[in-house]
A and B are shown apart, each in its own frame.
Chain A
Amino acid sequence: MNAADLPPTNGDNPDWDSGTAELGHILKPGQLDLSHKVILYLDDITVSFDGFRALNKLSLTIDAGELRCIIGPNGAGKTTMMDVITGKTRPDEGTVFFGQTIDLTRLSEPEIAHMGIGRKFQKPTIFENHTVFENLELAMKTDKRVWRSLFATLDSAAGDRIAETLQLIRLTTDADRLAGLLSHGQKQWLEIGMLLMQEPKLLLLDEPVAGMTDEETERTGELFLSLAGRHSLVVVEHDMAFVKQLGGKVTVLHEGSVLAEGSLEEVQADQRVIEVYLGR
């Protein structure tokens, strides 16, 4: 799989390079400001559930175009972190900024999705009673207000776009099948395809290769690598071989905050990380 297979996503999107002007720059409302080459700032985030601190003063930054892996034992706060970024959970303390200007703690889930953050759940979440084609159609980046949906028709450009994504996720022959009838790995791919249809700038992927065969896992890794650069990706994963294949910077979460950060070799050599994973 190479870049030519990919749908035309954000490569030539003008607001991807926004804010590089020498003397200040003007942003339209909702436009992403990447002038400092950082796409996501989490600062001092604390989230408590009934006294349990799921996130404890978590601070993390993701660079534009980066492919970041997040690992950590169960209960380290990985999924809660994604909930905070996507607006599902409001932090008790701390700030979340998308680019320099967009405060995510003040936006709802659909608004955050519109800003350009796509999320893949741990359990594949697709529309099982819709066909594969319809799943992609619903996810496609477009005006998603009621009035538009009432009168929407699919033009040929949109049809082409869906066809390209179908090819990319290797579900072309399954386009008219109900999504609920796909295999587990195919469902994972369909959800990734839906994410791509949204043309997000930041993709959050929660255990994207769980339940996939080795071959599927490897193909997924290739896909992610080809997306990095044009998109920023945050991958939560337990599969160390997969993390190794992705090769980017790794962040280890433990008890709701960052324990270590660096290349996979560095964090694997870190004494505290070994303690956390192996127990004392």
Chain B
Amino acid sequence: MRPSPARTPFIVRLGASFDARGWRLSGLFAAFALIAVPVMHLALPADHPLHLSTWFITLVGKILCYAIVAVAMDLIWGYGGILSLGHGLFFALGGYGFGMYLMRQIGRDGSYQSDLPDFMVFLDWKELPWFWVGSDSFLWAVLLVLVVPALIAFVFGYFAFRSRIKGVYFSIITQALTYAAMLLFFRNETGFGGNNGFTDFKRILGHPITAPETRVVLFALSALALIGTLLLARYLVRSKFGRVLTAIRDAESRVMFIGYNPLWYKLFVWTLSAMLCAVAGALYVPQVGIINPSEMSVGNSIEIAIWVAVGGRGTLIGPVIGAFLVNLAKSWFTVSFPEYWLFFLGTLFIVATLYLPQGVVGLWLRLRARRRGKGAAAGEPPAAVAKGVGA
């Protein structure tokens, strides 16, 4: 970074995080999600070859949410060097927070025609527990989605980072955290529907949740959220904050001895990452129509790390590609060879770790560098490869 005029408005600096190509691609993607998808889903008849099915919209909408999680994971793992194996927890908490609102929107249309959600009637509860107060408000739900996971991440992160827990120890603790939360949410007494979780949603802001129009809007929101996440993440990693973060990853003691306190840097990016996951979870639940404690299972969180590893750590765009590749493969595998999926996933992780340290993005950059480097003696790798900077 070179000296630049200090008083550039923040919004301009944020916008400058994408280069021209980045904005072109984002514009194309936004046009696809906001214009092409609605037209192809709503206006074209079901037998038209370009018609997009509900199945397609739900699948891609779901993967868009996963892609947000993958970018959030890349911020802490790829740039911060902190491997969380419990990020599914924050995703699920966001989903539960918004799911509470969706449960209240069912109103008296549930099986028991009660004001209370069905599972509470089933448990013979007479009134809402205190933490459900306000859950019929959309704004309150949004607040819950943003604040609760952030608070949990902040408190957990504060103690973990203050105690200088690092590396594999940190990963194991995050795994234990999400597992403990899963066990807690499995209990009926916890007040979140036990192992069935929340489902049978009817409405969102008064609109029928399964209506094609609602689906199209949720899809578009997920796409915009992904673009916003990428923009924010790109700004962060290009800022001085980002340079300090990668410095902490590479030589934490040096960072401390030049006067930065790594605790607050880690805590900021950790909490932000958790919030992004929660937003993704809140967008995910209305699209798939269910949230239950299995989202907090250890396997789910490990899968997030695999998306990032396959796509390319520390590249931001790589994790998006990884989330799409792995999940598209998963939706095909689990139909064609359901029993082999986990073996495939494990193999993929090993191959990516051993042979593709920077995932498919790193592979692509290396191939491109080789093509360009032909003829010229390539003495040292181009900075882009060594630093793993993508689009």
List the interface of chain A (C-beta within 8 A of B). 86, 88, 108-110, 113-114, 118-119, 121, 125-131, 133-134, 137-139, 141, 144-146, 149-156, 158-159, 176, 178, 180-181, 194, 198
CA–CA, A138 and B387, complex, Å: 17
B259 near A145: Cβ-Cβ < 8 Å: no
A137 touches B243 (CB 8 A): yes
> 24 pairs across A/B with beta carbons < 8 Å?
A108-B256, A109-B253, A109-B256, A110-B256, A110-B260, A118-B257, A125-B253, A125-B254, A128-B250, A129-B246, A134-B1, A144-B260, A146-B241, A146-B264, A149-B241, A149-B244, A149-B265, A150-B239, A151-B10, A151-B239, A153-B8, A158-B3, A159-B2, A178-B386
Q: Nearest chain B CB to A165's CB is how many angstroms away?
A: 14
In angstroms, how far is the closest chain B Cβ from the Cβ of A198?
Answer: 6
Contacts of B43 in A (CB 8 A): none
Q: Is the CB of B387 within 8 A of A129?
A: yes
Q: Does B247 count as interface, using CB distance less than 8 angstroms?
A: yes
Task: Please indicate the chain B residues that have their CB under 8 angstroms from the CB of A149 in the complex.
Answer: 239-241, 244, 265
Lowest 5 A-B CB distances belong to which pairs? A113-B259, A159-B3, A109-B256, A152-B240, A149-B241
Contacts of A108 in B (CB 8 A): 256, 261
Chain A residues in 8 Å Cβ range of B3: 154-156, 158-159
Please report which residues of chain B, range 297-354, place their CB below 8 angstroms from some CB of chain A when the two chains form the complex: none
Per-position contact with A for B139-178: 1 when CB-CB < 8 Å, else 0? 0000000000000000000000000000000000000000
Contact with A along B247-284 (1 / 0, CB 8 A): 10011011111111100110010000000000000000
User: Contacts A130-B247, A138-B247, A145-B264; is A110 near B259 (CB within 8 Å)?
Assistant: yes
In the complex, what residues of A have CB within 8 A of residue B5's CB? 153
Minimum distance in angstroms from B241 CB to a CB of chain A:
4
Chain B residues in 8 Å Cβ range of A130: 243, 246-247, 250
Chain A residue with Cβ nearest B383 = A178
Contacts of A152 in B (CB 8 A): 239-241
Residue B11 CB within 8 A of the other chain:
no
Determine which of A128, A131, A194 lies in contact with B258 in the assembled complex, contact meaning CB atoms within 8 Å.
Answer: A194
Q: Whose C-beta in chain B lies nearest to the C-beta of A195?
A: B258
Cα-based distance from A109 to B127 in the complex (angstroms): 53
CB distance from B245 to the nearest CB of A (A): 9
Q: A119-B257, A152-B239 are in contact. List 20 more A-B contacts (CB 8 A).
A: A86-B257, A88-B253, A109-B253, A110-B261, A113-B259, A114-B259, A118-B257, A125-B251, A127-B247, A129-B246, A130-B250, A134-B1, A138-B240, A138-B244, A138-B260, A139-B258, A146-B264, A159-B2, A176-B383, A198-B259
Q: In the bound complex, what is the Cα–Cα distance between A110 and B264 (angstroms)?
A: 12
> Closest A-chain residue to B244, C-beta based?
A149
B6 CB-CB contact with A under 8 Å? yes
Contacts of A114 in B (CB 8 A): 259
Task: Please encode chain B, from 1 to 33, with 1 for each CB lying within 8 Å of some chain A CB and 0 for all others.
Answer: 111111010100100000000000000000000
Closest-by-CB residue of A relative to B241 is A149
B1 near A137 (CB under 8 angstroms)?
yes
- Give A128 to B239 CA distance when docked, in angstroms: 18
In whole angstroms, what is the CA distance A109 to B263 when docked? 12
Size category, B interface: 35 or more
A88 CA to B256 CA, complexed, in Å = 10
Distance in Å from the Cβ of B1 to the closest Cβ of chain A?
6
Q: List, in ascending order, chain B residues with CB within 8 A of A137's CB.
A: 1, 240, 243
Closest A residue by C-beta to B5: A153
> B257 near A109 (CB under 8 angstroms)?
yes
- Rounded to whole angstroms, the CA-CA distance of A133 and B8 in the bound complex is 22
How many angstroms between the C-alpha atoms of A156 and B247 in the bound complex?
Answer: 23
Check B380 for interface membership: any CB of A closer than 8 A: yes
Chain A: CB-nearest residue to B388: A129
State in angstroms the CA–CA spacing of A176 and B386 once bound together.
Answer: 13
- A126 contact from B6, B13, B254, B383, Cβ within 8 A: B254
Contacting residues, chain A, for B257 (C-beta < 8 A): 86, 109-110, 113, 118-119
Closest to A160 in B: B3
- Chain A residues whose C-beta falls within 8 Å of the C-beta of B259 in the assembled complex: 110, 113-114, 141, 144, 198
- A127/B387 in contact, CB under 8 A: no
Q: Assess the B247–A153 pair: CB atoms within 8 A.
A: no
A113 near B256: Cβ-Cβ < 8 Å: yes
Distance (Å) between the CB of B344 and the closest chain A CB? 32
Chain A: minimal CB distance from B166 (Å)? 15
Which of the residues B6, B250, B256, B264 comes within 8 Å of A127, measured between beta carbons? B250
CA distance A144 to B8 in the complex (A): 21
* Chain B nearest Cβ from A239, distance in angstroms: 23
Q: Given the complex, which residues of A lie within 8 Å of B250, measured CB to CB?
A: 127-130
Task: State A145–B255 Cα separation when bound (angstroms).
Answer: 12
Instruction: Say whether A146 contacts B254, CB under 8 Å.
Output: no
Compute how far the CA of A67 lies from the CA of B253 in the bound complex, rounded to whole angstroms: 25
- Write the nearest CB–CB distance from B247 to chain A, whole angstroms: 5
Closest B residue, CB atoms, query A180: B386
B1: chain A residues at CB < 8 Å are 133-134, 137, 154
Q: Which residues of B contact A118 (CB under 8 A)?
A: 257-258
CB distance from A210 to the nearest CB of B (A): 17
Please tell me if the beta carbons of A127 and B4 are within 8 angstroms of each other in the complex.
no
Given contacts A145-B264, A155-B6, contact A134 B251 (CB under 8 A): no
User: Which of B2, B243, B386 lies in contact with A138, CB distance below 8 A?
Assistant: B243
> Measured between alpha carbons, how far is A109 from B387 in the docked complex, in Å?
28
Which residues of the other chain, B, contact A131 by a CB distance below 8 angstroms? 383
A153–B6 touching, CB < 8 Å:
yes
Q: Which residues of B contact A127 (CB under 8 A)?
A: 246-247, 250-251, 254
Chain A residues closer than 8 Å to B254, beta-carbon distance: 121, 125-127
Chain B residues with CB below 8 A from A86, complex form: 257
For the complex, what is the distance from the CA of A258 to the CA of B3, rounded to whole Å? 48
Chain A residues within 8 Å of B253, by CB = 88, 109, 121, 125
Min CB gap B30→A, angstroms: 26
From A176, which residue of chain B is reached at the shortest CB distance? B383
> Smallest distance from the beta carbon of B2 to chain A beta carbons, Å?
7
